Structure 1
């Protein structure tokens, strides 16, 4: 690294701008961060990508590989360097089982390790001029100021979710959040948001019983800290959320640069999965076009055993072929035998269903045999589904998924609700709407025979145009120009 800088100086050419990147240690955050790193490197930036030791082990183990996740990317000429940092816990520590303890550590302990790493990297390579850290970290501004770095916050969810968290004080003041009795009427005072019902807020903002949890403290601290960021990147598109984005731009430099996908959509050649991926291509090859329903509830949220049983029953009744991604810990890390007795064997024997613990989701959605997606409404999943022209059945489980559902069903009109009226419930943690197999069956049949694909194709065109040479491409170039200017100004101070 030092040698490269010396050679560049000797040749009289300044080194390219160099940024550090640190995603939140969750699957849904790592993937868009990796894709953004590739996009930045392709634009001529040097990137040092930082994973936690634990996330590195998860990805390396699932890929059956070793050390540097970006080794192949560098062979294609991308200057993406790679390092890891301790999150403050032993690698063997069960972060899922001790969720709150782990995230308390992310708030209070992790920052010291990151600060030390950033200092060491800066001493070895003074060309580092900026850092792109996940919005949900609560301490980036302090590290950026200490090391004289441009502070870029990357939000991996939609702008609607960002602005609701950003204006959490307004929600509190109007008693839609953190009141003894939260109001249940429409929210119409958030800048750039015409109206939203409390049932469409993120699950943490629907809370009524305990608002002093670790996630609540993280959200409030993180969205105070993000107001100090020099730039905010968001994995969305101007045309999908124009009013919300325009209002945010009046507050801070805000760049909608989504959808951030690999150049070839289905693969970057960079491992990102925390689990080994099943190859579904051969099974799908025998299926007619648009005949298969893909079912996945993502990498993080949990469902109840009852929900899983009723969804399994609905799939069986529907007669529709399906691939179901069912994480071993979908109910809990200690409960792995969760499907009804004989279900998986019966579906496999009939050729109707394939149940896998994990898969390459983008490859499955891009397969012509797939015609629908029963999804938890994670934002990555929604963008990928739109890009592939796949309509959705929405079944949000946690956090931003309830708000994302509103965008899909109510605003964009490219999906249907699995359970109408579903909202987050603290009493059971899995929503207050009962799911029955007959209803699941009916919604599956409705989706697979609907005309919603035509609507999704129209939204896909918006995403394609934005990413190719439209608003997102222009916003990204504007961000690069502004970031270079900020780095130059910091270096002159």
Structure 2
């Protein structure tokens, strides 16, 4: 018998919706008397297959779509307009849905679990007298950074945007090492509203009844401990429940044949292949593509390269597939590397990372990708692109010593349609060589692989944290 219901409100996007669905499934598995409704915000941009929730036969989990108008999706371009425009536009729809769920069922609503960018929905939870929990889909270090900067801003009038283009370093409780200003997220340094948006998000995080993080204690012990070590921090209970991963990804993409990719990998020696993949939004202009091509060819390593076409400049569309790879790659590259490499479009990332022939991952350092690489025991060469990825790279390279650096402070203006910085072939080649040869780094990743699996096993740190969260919700 169902005794309690939760409503999940994820942000749209490959880094937000899939881990939310997986968290919901996990909670249902752990508590037999709970039901979950997930509200899906539909955007005009066609959803990539990684964003589509996997079908489920569990009647306790249901999805409700929230269609939106094109003018609403115009607000998707920046964190500020996303929160104050797009998310705000969804509130009337969410209010009506939640009201309908309450009135049509005798099962009490015990809480709303809202994405880190969906905090305006806290207002609706308050209207219905329900507690709000934040699902922070990045890591403990970044959460601590945002909360720390917001506290300094409000208590000391500290302006983090003054660190833009600075060589200074910043001491933050959730990190062991001082953070170079050059790896801070671009939005935090944005005087035009991005920085203030994140300060507003952090203030609202503090209003919640708890914060769920997709990480695990063994990976970020210092960051997790920092939330309870400061007595006056005014931080709600934090629940590290990760790694939350979709370990049963299904391939619905018809552009690339997963079977063909896996057949090619089957023919390669164990741990010999470098996998280059830059996430759902990762792409480069032709000049940068040519530098990558030169680097992988010079490295002599076997490679699998997910290469996608940038969207038109001044747009925020998703990368597309190339009809002819010859148009962007150096002349003769595909022929010269045909015995050692394969260039593809979209990649079934988890299937590739879990393949025994893959020995290294050149990555944009999206948090989900990092968790997948750790789960599979594949070391990373860090090449962050946007959002908080520079901070993720800093954590892997400096804090944990689990990644090689290609260029940790690389960043691109996604709204300008591509990269402005150029990473040279030499930098990329050096990163690949270290990635494939550093035994100490490889051993650290293998040790963390085992810890990630123990964390979610019965009695593990995340297993216990999930139980704490369920108990918190049911109080």
Distance in 2 between residues matched to 1:198 and 1:275, nearest whole Å = 42
- The TM-score normalised by the length of structure 1 is 0.81
Q: 2:298 aligns with which of 304, 317, 329?
A: 317
Distance in 2 between residues matched to 1:129 and 1:274, nearest whole Å = 37
Distance in 1 between residues matched to 2:468 and 2:318, nearest whole Å = 48
Q: 2:91 aligns with which of 95, 101, 111?
A: 111
C-alpha change, 1:70 and 1:299, in structure 2 (3 Å) is: closer
**What is the match of residue 132 of structure 1?**
113
Q: Which consecutive unaligned segments of at least 5 residues does structure 1 have?
A: 1-12, 486-493
C-alpha change, 1:97 and 1:151, in structure 2 (3 Å) is: closer
Q: Within 5 A, what are the aligned runs for 1:215-230? A: 215-230=194-209
**What is the match of residue 185 of structure 2?**
202
Answering whether residue 308 of structure 2 is matched by residue 327 of structure 1, we say yes
**What is the match of residue 440 of structure 1?**
428
After TM superposition, give the deviation of residue 228 of structure 1 in Å: 0.8
Distance in 1 between residues matched to 2:360 and 2:245, nearest whole Å = 20
After TM superposition, give the deviation of residue 165 of structure 1 in Å: 1.2
CA contact (8 A) 2:10 2:118 kept: no
Q: Secondary structure, in 3 states, of the residue corresponding to 1:58?
A: coil
Answering whether residue 222 of structure 2 is matched by residue 243 of structure 1, we say yes
CA contact (8 A) 1:161 1:202 kept: no
Q: Which consecutive unaligned segments of at least 5 residues does structure 2 have?
A: none
CA contact (8 A) 1:49 1:83 kept: yes
Distance in 1 between residues matched to 2:352 and 2:382, nearest whole Å = 18
After TM superposition, give the deviation of residue 185 of structure 1 in Å: 2.8
- The TM-score normalised by the length of structure 2 is 0.84
C-alpha change, 1:346 and 1:191, in structure 2 (3 Å) is: closer
C-alpha change, 1:456 and 1:375, in structure 2 (3 Å) is: same
Q: Secondary structure, in 3 states, of the residue corresponding to 1:459?
A: helix
**What is the match of residue 385 of structure 1?**
373
CA contact (8 A) 1:134 1:153 kept: yes
CA contact (8 A) 2:76 2:86 kept: no
After superposition, give the CA deviation of every residue in 1:16-51 in whole Å (9 maximum; x if it has no partner): 321111211111111211211110121222111221
**What is the match of residue 360 of structure 2?**
372
Q: Say how many residue pairs are matched.
A: 451
Distance in 1 between residues matched to 2:290 and 2:419, nearest whole Å = 16
Q: 2:264 aligns with which of 283, 287, 292?
A: 283
**What is the match of residue 38 of structure 1?**
25
Distance in 2 between residues matched to 1:432 and 1:374, nearest whole Å = 20
C-alpha change, 1:224 and 1:24, in structure 2 (3 Å) is: same
Q: Secondary structure, in 3 states, of the residue corresponding to 1:178?
A: helix
Distance in 1 between residues matched to 2:77 and 2:202, nearest whole Å = 26
CA contact (8 A) 1:157 1:379 kept: yes
Q: Secondary structure, in 3 states, of the residue corresponding to 1:240?
A: coil
Q: Secondary structure, in 3 states, of the residue corresponding to 2:12?
A: coil
Answering whether residue 463 of structure 2 is matched by residue 473 of structure 1, we say yes
Distance in 2 between residues matched to 1:382 and 1:122, nearest whole Å = 38
Q: Secondary structure, in 3 states, of the residue corresponding to 2:438?
A: coil
Deviates more, 1:468-477 or 1:363-372: 468-477
Aligned-pair RMSD on alpha carbons?
3.3
Q: Secondary structure, in 3 states, of the residue corresponding to 1:33?
A: helix
Answering whether residue 185 of structure 2 is matched by residue 185 of structure 1, we say no
